[in-house]
Amino acid sequence: MKKTTIKLWKMLVCVFLFGAVFSSCEKEENLSESEENLATDLQEPPFKNYMVISESSDLTKSVENSLKTSGSEIVSSIPEIGISIVSSKDVNFIENTMKKKNINAVVPDYEIAWIPTSKGIEANLPEATPSIGSTEPYYFYDYLWGLEAIDAPDAWNAGFTGSGANVFVLDSGIDAEHVELAPNLNTSLSASFVPGEDWNVLESTPFDNHGTHVAGTIAAAQNGLGLIGVAPHAELVAVKVLSEFTGSGAFSSINAGIVYAGENSADVINMSLGVTLNKNGKLIDANGDPYKIPAKYVMEIVNAQQKAIDYAYKKGSTIIASAGNDGVNYDGNSAYIKLPGGLNNVVTVSATAPEGYDWTADYTNFDIPSSYTTHGKSLVDIAAPGGDGDVALDDMILSTGNNNSLFWSAGTSMAAPHVSGVAALIIAKNGGDMNPQEVTKQIEKTADKVDGNGQSTFFGKGRINAYRAVTE
């Protein structure tokens, strides 16, 4: 039984992660001919299995039968997009398998960090007497500045709270017993694609569980216990694709989670995760650790994940992902591509922060680009509060943690769930009768143009505005 007393934690190290996205309007994603020189001592990331990609989804079963007869073990399958995850002791597995019929590609199923490790420290905040919004103590005390920045309270007051919409959180699991999340969590649909780990995080897992924090920003319940999410009446579904202990996962786990969400009628898919690939085979994980993989595998990995994205998109899922925390301007850096970020049919989110937030002040500028945020007109679609820790911890995003804790964190990981919450508000308002392209258009059309009327380097089409999104 998990604890029921709410504790509040502050992060000393921000939860940063890489990941940026091309939107549904088909952004350019070709890799340039210019290549970086790779260090010869870079290691290949670990892998246990292979992704065998069939020429079509209809041929998946035939391919798997062929592999079984050759002594390979089918670990799992994503037949909707023609991918099989296979275990084999054959040192020449790739070469031998490519000789078989109906196979398009075979690549190692690399396991890498999609979200970084982090540390936190306990802190105490004053208690408040409960007095939608003002009944939540930490909103009442103005700690949830991100909600103010996007005008979420005005959206609630207008009657829009996300009721009837769902958000699938592809991450490191969720604390199912958290008092702020349990009322909105669909436990029957929640699932894990991480071998040996349940989607419900263990009590022994550190408080700063990434997926739990992301979920709280999206849809912490309106219950008077402390927090409130952007869409406090929306349904949450936990889809574990990363280890709660390491933040690592296989490419196939991400792909399987995306397809699962699409197949189960996800209105919104939130992916606060990502990695960076280069045409020449360089891979940089979320902790900034470089690896080297054969260059021929890069586009096969990219194409496989694009298949998963396209599948969910066609099923009606609006897909939101973080832009990344490497602080790089991706204009002119076309040799790099981010997953799931550098793919079509996904909305890219950069991060904003307050200009030295002071909850006692009458006014604070919330629209300062975060010091770490990845940016570029060719990459970023929209901006949202992600916080920053270079001035004060209160400049970060307060949300839920494991074992009923709360903690502060910062990153584009924290910005993306603000957008997912707004997407849920839009979809709920329209009774679910909107396709992803329409949802994306509404998000961008109603964003506040804080940096001109065009495509901004740091803000894309602007900073999201929840109230305008459901009233205009």
Annotated catalytic residues are 171, 210, 413
Could you give the CA distance from residue 407 to residue 401 in angstroms, rounded to a whole number?
6
Could you give the CA distance from residue 336 to residue 329 in angstroms, rounded to a whole number?
11
Query: Among 152, 169, 271, which residue's Cα sits nearest to residue 222?
Result: 152
DSSP assignment of 373-420: --B-TTT--EEEE---SSS-GGGSEEEE-GGGEEEEE-SHHHHHHHHH
Q: What are phi and psi of 163, to 5 degrees?
A: -60, 125
Question: What's the burial of 41, exposed, middle or buried (CB within 10 Å: 0-12/13-18/19+)?
Answer: exposed
Question: What's the burial of 101, exposed, middle or buried (CB within 10 Å: 0-12/13-18/19+)?
Answer: exposed
What are the strands of the beta sheet with 397-400, ordered from one edge? 120-123, 7-11, 405-409, 397-400
Residue with tokens 């680009």: 369
DSSP H/E element including 255: helix 251-263
Can you say whether the dihedral through the CA atoms of 253, 324, 293, 62 is positive or negative?
A: positive
Q: What is the pairing mode between strands 103-113 and 235-240?
A: unpaired
Task: Let me know how long the chain is.
Answer: 472
DSSP assignment of 311-365: HHHHTT-EEEEE--SS--B-TT-TTEEEETTTSTT-EEEEEEE-SS--TTSS---
Query: Among 433, 77, 442, 9, which residue's Cα sits nearest to residue 226?
Result: 9
Side-chain-side CA neighbours of residue 391 (13 Å): 14
Those residues with Cβ within 8 angstroms of residue 41's Cβ, 6 or more apart along the chain or in another chain: none
> For 67-192, where are the E strands, in sequence order?
73-78, 83-87, 103-113, 120-123, 166-171, 191-192
Question: What's the burial of 26, exposed, middle or buried (CB within 10 Å: 0-12/13-18/19+)?
Answer: exposed
